[in-house]
Amino acid sequence: MASTIIDSAIFQGIFSSDAMRQVWSDENRTQKYLDIEAALAKVQGRLGLIPQEAADEIVSHCRLDQIDMVKLRAQTERIGYPILGVVSQLNALCRDKLGEYCHWGATTQDITDTATVLQIREALALVDADLAAISDALAALARTHRLTPMIGRSNLQQAIPVTFGYKMAGLLSAIERHRTRLNELRPRVLVGELAGAAGTLASLATGAMATQAGLCAELGLAQPDIAWHTIRDNIAEVGCFLGLVGGTLGKLSMDVKLMMQTEVGEVFEPYAHGRGSSSTMPQKRNPISSCYIHAQISVVRQHAAALLDAMVADHERSTGPWQIEWIVLPEAFCLLAGALKQSRHVLEGLEVDAQRMRENIDLTGGLVMSEAVMMGLGPYIGRETAHDLVYDICREAVKQKRPLLELLCEHPEINTHLDRAALARLCDPAHYLGQSGVMVDRVLDKLR
């Protein structure tokens, strides 16, 4: 019985991905608990802190198929945490009371936090792969449309020409920064936890730090300098990172939605029969993926805020803030995975109408070239004078419904300095793309 959009048999493929859902599943989480208990027993057996026979016996039972998940649910509801239930079942599985050495010196939060870090490691690998694919798709679009003119927009109004490659390269630069952030945060986040009741590891009279170091090495995690039971900036950083990635994907989805409007028609999400159609309006082609991206990343941002709230923990073991992470971290990753999946779909099959882009530049009859004209006149009559003069001419062009070039050619303060050919060049969008191509190249040149 699924009740959330992530686990819905109908919606799960839209709002998340199977791979990410697996990372945060009960089965994977419980196996992580078992992996940690097995690693702890191995290390302590090697150090002589527990009998080697006990270590071998414990490790032999650290398999998910030996855990009664129905019983674990009941144990968790009774106790309040799943770890003790897992340890209790492992103890019962071991012969000759050797299971009593399971979980030696550890506390519930040690196992829970380390399991979370292991899940984060797997989840970040999935995010990284999607970001790399999105980067490739954006780079291809930037290269192909490096000098494809389109109108730039400011306050939803036509501004000056840019290129579609420039727009894609801007998004690409952000995606590449996210990939850099991901690499930078890994050493801070992928850190294990074994600190005991209040973080001092007093439970291990001997071999405490060697056990901690060995456990982290066994799991491929860094060893913490000090306990982080209630110092949660590492988890919050992950949430903020997810929010930042989501913000960029939201920017992409917003622009695609606006460019898909009937009156604009510059790009379209990939076509599939029936996708985006209306139950009553057969002509419609709605921006389906972009709508889902918008919804997904909006919730991810709220979850990032919740993870910041979870940092405000009390004393050495907290009463509530920790559980916030249990609720929102899996959802944040799962929803972002859905947004990444939808973004890849959009970018890898995006339909670009370069002709419509050019037509839209011409919608104003040349008014979008007023800045170019002003700057071209500046050396002759001064920039401010040119601004005011061109402003008045633009208003007249709108009133008369005539092309800007015609009125410019007729004006005596202008035609004494610039002939029709010079003015036509100033009014040509292809000659006013600025450094768009150079900027595209700079972004592409930095790709790893």
162: left (phi over 0), alpha (psi -120 to 50) or beta: beta
Active site residue 317: yes
Q: Six-digit token pair at 247?
A: 């913000």
Neighbours of 183 (CB within 10 A): 12
First to last CA, the chain: 45
Catalytic residue, chosen from 278, 395, 420, 442, is: 278
Q: Six-digit token pair at 342?
A: 């939808």
Q: Six-digit token pair at 409?
A: 């050619």
Query: Residue 342, Cα to own-chain centre: how many angstroms?
Result: 12
Neighbours of 12 (CB within 10 A): 18
402: left (phi over 0), alpha (psi -120 to 50) or beta: beta
Q: What is the C-alpha to C-alpha distance for residues 176 and 186, in angstroms, rounded to an integer?
A: 16
Cα Rg of the chain, angstroms? 30
Active site residue 95: no
Quick one: the chain helix, strand, coil %, rounded to 5?
65, 5, 30
Catalytic residue, chosen from 186, 317, 356, 358, is: 317
Per the CB < 8 A criterion, the answer to whether 18 and 7 are in contact is no
Angle between helices 108-144 and 436-445 (to 10 degrees): 140
Is the CA virtual torsion 403, 404, 405, 411 positive or negative? Answer: positive
Q: Six-digit token pair at 326?
A: 């249990």
Measured in degrees and rounded to the nearest 5, phi and psi for residue 103 equal 70, 30
CA distances from 232 to 29, 36, 311, 318 (A): 20, 20, 5, 11
Q: Which residues are catalytic?
A: 278, 317
